[in-house]
Structure 1
Amino acid sequence: MSSITIRQANTSDFSGLTEIWFNASVKAHDFIPEIYWENNKVQMQNTYLPMSEVYLAEDTTNIYGFIALVENTIAAIFVSPEQQGKGIGKLLINHAKGIRNNLELNVYQQNTNSVRFYESVGFKVLEETLDEETESKEFLMRWERSF
């Protein structure tokens, strides 16, 4: 893998980012039926990504993952399943930390790998919430810059 850079995404990237989102979501959320993710693909590409500030991690040949911010909320962070565990998620989080003083996100409690990942990069659980659409319990997690 050559050196990975982060840049702001543009609309021509959204189709590829939606595929990364879909593949990573199906892998990480086996407790939610795949049809849920399938049914949200169009919305992800045409609504959620365009309304977010999106940064992607790439090298000269591939896009490996992305982070989508809505103000101080991480609306999405996904890395291609075959590229997970290689530090790409951490690069994306660190990029977001460089441009924000605090960040919040919701993560499914059953997605224990992601919960551990967020804790490892400084996020703390604030409260337990419920994603009404999937009826799955979530954690609201937050990171704050210490001055």
Structure 2
Amino acid sequence: MLIREGRPADWGRLLEIWEASVRATHSFLSEEVIAALRPEVRDAALPALELWVLGGDGGELLGFMGLDGAKLEALFIAPSSSRRGGGRMLVEHARRLKGPLTVDVNEQNPAALRFYEALGFRVCGRSPVDGAGRPFPLLHLED
């Protein structure tokens, strides 16, 4: 697996990876919420973030992360490629670039919390709603 900078030509595939990953890991989100988030991810998040993509040996995109400074705003791996070390590779790449990181995790996604804790993150706070005020509590983590 290789990591490279993301580019606008990748955005269509990254949106597909985001949606497939969310469907596989965010069982607390309804279809209506996922549909409402899709244009936010496509039109706001992908263009605004510093994107790094995870590619397979054949050049196919397997996952990505989005950074805002030292905050990890997005980390999504295609379900067919999960649990193969790609997420860890992306986090380690971000640490090399930015130093200690912060990340928010949906409280209703315990697998994500376990992933980040296994990488040395610790919970340092909690918000009862997400960044847009929706009723999805967030756990704030830091290196």
Q: What is the distance in 2 between the residues matched to 1:19 and 1:10?
A: 15
How far off is 1:19 after superposition?
Answer: 0.8
Q: Indicate the RMSD between aligned Cα atoms, in angstroms.
A: 1.2
5+ long unaligned stretches in structure 2: none
Partner SS state of residue 37, structure 2? helix
Query: What amino acid does structure 1 have at the position aligned with 2:14?
Result: L
What residue is the counterpart of 1:24 in the other structure?
A: 21
Query: What amino acid does structure 1 have at the position aligned with 2:128?
Result: L
Q: What is the distance in 2 between the residues matched to 1:16 and 1:135?
A: 28
Partner SS state of residue 102, structure 1? coil
5+ long unaligned stretches in structure 1: none
What residue is the counterpart of 2:137 in the other structure?
A: 137
Partner SS state of residue 13, structure 1? helix
Q: What is the distance in 2 between the residues matched to 1:134 and 1:34?
A: 15
Instruction: Count how many residue pairs are aligned between Structure 1 and Structure 2.
Output: 140
What residue is the counterpart of 2:61 in the other structure?
A: 63
Q: Are 1:40 and 2:70 matched, yes or no?
A: no
Q: What is the distance in 2 between the residues matched to 1:124 and 1:71?
A: 19
Q: Is the 8 A contact 1:22 1:38 kept in 2?
A: no
Q: Is the 8 A contact 1:97 1:103 kept in 2?
A: yes
What residue is the counterpart of 1:97 in the other structure?
A: 95
Q: What is the distance in 1 between the residues matched to 2:126 and 2:48?
A: 26
Identity %: 25
Q: Is the 8 A contact 1:32 1:134 kept in 2?
A: no
How far off is 1:104 after superposition?
Answer: 0.8
TM-score, length of structure 1 as denominator length = 0.90
What residue is the counterpart of 1:79 in the other structure?
A: 77
How far off is 1:131 after superposition?
Answer: 2.4
Q: Are 1:53 and 2:57 matched, yes or no?
A: no
Q: What is the distance in 2 between the residues matched to 1:35 and 1:86?
A: 30
